[in-house]
Amino acid sequence: MTLYSEIMEQPQRVNDLLRAQRANIEKIAAEIKKRDIRFAFLAARGTSDNAARYANYLLGSMNRIPLALATPSLFTYYRQPPLLRDALVMGISQSGQSPDIISVLEEGKRQGCLTIAITNEPDSPLATTADFVIDIQAGDEQAVAATKTYTSQLMAVAMLATALDGGDRHWQELDRVADWMKQSLQLNDRIAQIVPRFRYIDHTVVLGRGFNYCTAFEWALKLKELTYTVAVPYSFADFQHGPIALVERGFPVMVISPLGEVYKPSLEMLSKLKNGFHAELVIISNDQAALNLAQSPIAIPAGIPEWLSPLVSILPAQLFTYHLTVEKGYDTEQPRSIHKITETN
């Protein structure tokens, strides 16, 4: 099993998850609906924290549930956890081993909250702490850089939001995700041809907005983990409030901008970066207007609902990072200084 093979197996993994966990997730959603849930409180680290950013947008938009990302140090070092009354307390962790994430769920239970673990290890300490477990069923992930566990976490979040919503249309859209992912993975050869242009970059910014704010963070994280590039993620909106001063002629900018509610203002920003700042743009999109602005366009399938686009748009970003790692001569399986399981307090 290699990083590349794990990237390529993601359509099958999310499809299996959709089939196997729907009944469990609908049961969890029914229990949530019984409670007077006022908000969700979610703890995660690393890649899982980027899945939490997706949950922030999705539960807010589809279910009208405000979500706060936990600050685990309040629970461990400061020992002053916030009051969580009427909260749904969630933990997302690939391994389920991190003590600080576990501490948030333990405190949630002490305060009488409903707790949920989303993990790839259903027998882990995080899972045994929680009232309910969503097993993402990604299989053994041997590469240090997380890929298939990330998209499986996104799928689990999307299924939970859909179950809470209760409509058939969203389940039908979820049924199409694996096919959209397969189409995106067919871009592999195209992406491999793009990458040599960026062999010598050491700094970049990664832009996304709305549902794909999480994708910007996840792509930037993979670039840092695997290629040792200083990659800083921003919302398109935040980028204009100062960081845009970084951009000069030829500065590489990675972009995720599929069609959706935030597409129009993002397109205006891309035009400014291309024509006003002469940036070097890599753009992942499913609209030709955005792709036309890129020196390196990457076209994902048309027709993807914006709320599901993070599950698809991250795949070409993963492939880009994989091929750039190879191009730079680095180890795709074992990045320096990091390990598969990181236990933070």
HEC-encoded secondary structure of the chain: CCHHHHHHCHHHHHHHHHHHHHHHHHHHHHHHHHCCCCEEEEEECHHHHHHHHHHHHHHHHHHCCCEEECCCHHHHCCCCCCCCCCEEEEEEECCCCCHHHHHHHHHHHHCCCEEEEEECCCCCHHHHHCCEEEECCCCCCCCCCCCHHHHHHHHHHHHHHHHHHCCHHHHHHHCCHHHHHHHHHCCHHHHHHHHHHHCCCCEEEEEECHHHHHHHHHHHHHHHHHHCCEEEEEEHHHHCCCHHHHCCCCCEEEEECCCCCCHHHHHHHHHHHHHHCCCEEEEEECCHHHHCCCCEEEECCCCCCHHHHHHHHHHHHHHHHHHHHHHCCCCCCCCCCCCCCCCCC
Q: Which domains does the chain have, with CATH numbers?
A: 3-175 (3.40.50.10490), 179-327 (3.40.50.10490)
Question: What are the per-10-residue average pLDDT scores of the chain (345 residues)?
Answer: 94 97 97 94 95 97 95 88 94 92 95 96 96 96 93 98 94 98 97 96 96 98 97 93 92 97 93 94 97 97 97 98 97 78 59
The model's pTM is 0.95
How much is the pLDDT for 336?
Answer: 79
How much is the pLDDT for 139?
Answer: 93
How much is the pLDDT for 335?
Answer: 86
List, for residues 46-63, the tens digit of each pLDDT value.
999 999 999 999 999 999
